[in-house]
Chain A
């Protein structure tokens, strides 16, 4: 794959939605890619082309169209697996990253329930009273609430690495709270709110020293920097298509092959079965075992097109691009009276910057920005405990992708500069 020369300005034209004019006749300045990214025309075309030419039920039927649909779906899997340097068979398609994380939690619950009923289960997946699960205080709710639920149902305890008020992780606590009763250690690769990269090597090491599973939430890393799944140290990785220029409704779950092969099924039905009688069913090997129902073929094809597009830009170049924008954003915002940029002391942001404006609630800041056509996220960013740890009710978050430019940062800064004046 040849990497092309590009800038934010040059790729903008690839994204149809970015030419929209918003209320007050302002051109759109889209700074909310951490929530969801915009899609290049090639992704939209790929999805459309699938429906126009190859749509049939994959893995069902022996007619030509079904063969084509199956081929399209499976080669998309292969393409996306290659993007994270993984084997095809170790990539599961789900409906979202949130579902991927829930799938892991429910697989553990199922193993626990089955084990309690006398069925031999891989002990790594069985969670007993007195076991614990370790996360951090800055996790997105999708990588927190499923673990809370799992603990409530199994009698395990949730432990976490705290965040200090300067956004730093009290990482030394990790080796205190991970012990021989730890079943899962999980953390974000990149924080969706503070934007920085976590020291995942330490989390992996702590988990593996005690034989726990290390689960990685890679939603904010895979879209913005090169990620080689087998080298992260993770046993399972969740990420989502719609945050990486792909369609909504598709999530990914990568797992080390032997983990996926040993993990109990969660969602069952057609496709994932091997043999079915009224009395019992047996199941396919992974990844098929975790993909019940007619697959989201068009979305998989769209995601493969997104992968191809990203590879044409080069993920190292993408990382450099968004890091530079993030730093430029911090520099510009820091010049404005009353603005407090909230970064982690641990590391510089990759592609998202959170900030507050003195005396003005983030929701109101967001409204002024909206009036100028600038789209940011305001609120707790699905990381409510992090807000409390930082001592703020909410923040404003600007996030960057391949199509953002220094002009976008300037538009943001100009808009933020008029906030305090408006609210007097």
Chain B
């Protein structure tokens, strides 16, 4: 697996022109994730609307793999259902933990470009950082959005 195999043009594009970068309002949850071994950091905000991921905004400092992965995720999952995100997450995890033996599920689309990273155990965490952050943010957003107030008589 060559360097070009890991840093495919698509990944470098997303690194140079990241999608969704810059923290925005409104948002339902904000998380801060760090790769403790190398210092990659991501702050991610997620805004949900009727079961859909309406906006993913983020900011961070880190390697090309971590930033590009976050950008691609923002690109693919904004204005999609949370179920769609979870489906993509499972597919992405399967590839990342597959040591290059697992072919990417077609639903991954552009994210299949990260296939090469799976062979470099030290970089898998970089590719996963954004996905873990968004999963965390979505979970937190869902737990606050659920309205637990009982039905009250007389409400219109």
Contact = CB atoms under 8 A, between A and B. Distances in A.
Interface of A: 23-24, 360-364, 367-368, 371, 378-380, 384, 387, 393-394, 422-424
Given A379-B38, A379-B39, A393-B61, A363 B3 contact: no
A361 B62 contact: yes
A423 B65 CA distance: 12
B123 interface: yes
Interface size class of B (residues with CB under 8 A): 20 to 34
Contacts, number: 53
A378 B3 contact: no
Contacts of B126: 363
B133 to A, nearest CB: 17
Contact of B62 (A363, A368, A371, A422): A363
A23 B119 CA distance: 11
B69 to A, nearest CB: 13
Contacts of A379: 37-39
Interface in B17-59: 37-41
Given A362-B38, A363-B64, A422-B7, 5 more contacts: A362-B63, A363-B66, A363-B123, A364-B7, A423-B7
Contact of B3 (A360, A361, A362, A367): A367
A423 B4 CA distance: 10
B12 A394 contact: no
B64 A423 contact: yes
A378 B123 contact: no
B2 A393 contact: no
B129 to A, nearest CB: 11
Nearest to B67: A361
A70 B124 CA distance: 46
Interface string B122-135: 01001000000000
Contacts of A422: 3, 7
Contacts of B6: 367
Given A387-B39, A394-B38, A422-B3, A367 B123 contact: yes
Contact of A364 (B2, B41, B64): B64
Contact of A363 (B12, B40, B41): B40
The 9 closest A-B pairs by CB, nearest first: A363-B63, A379-B38, A361-B63, A371-B3, A394-B39, A393-B61, A364-B64, A380-B39, A364-B63
Contacts of A371: 2-3
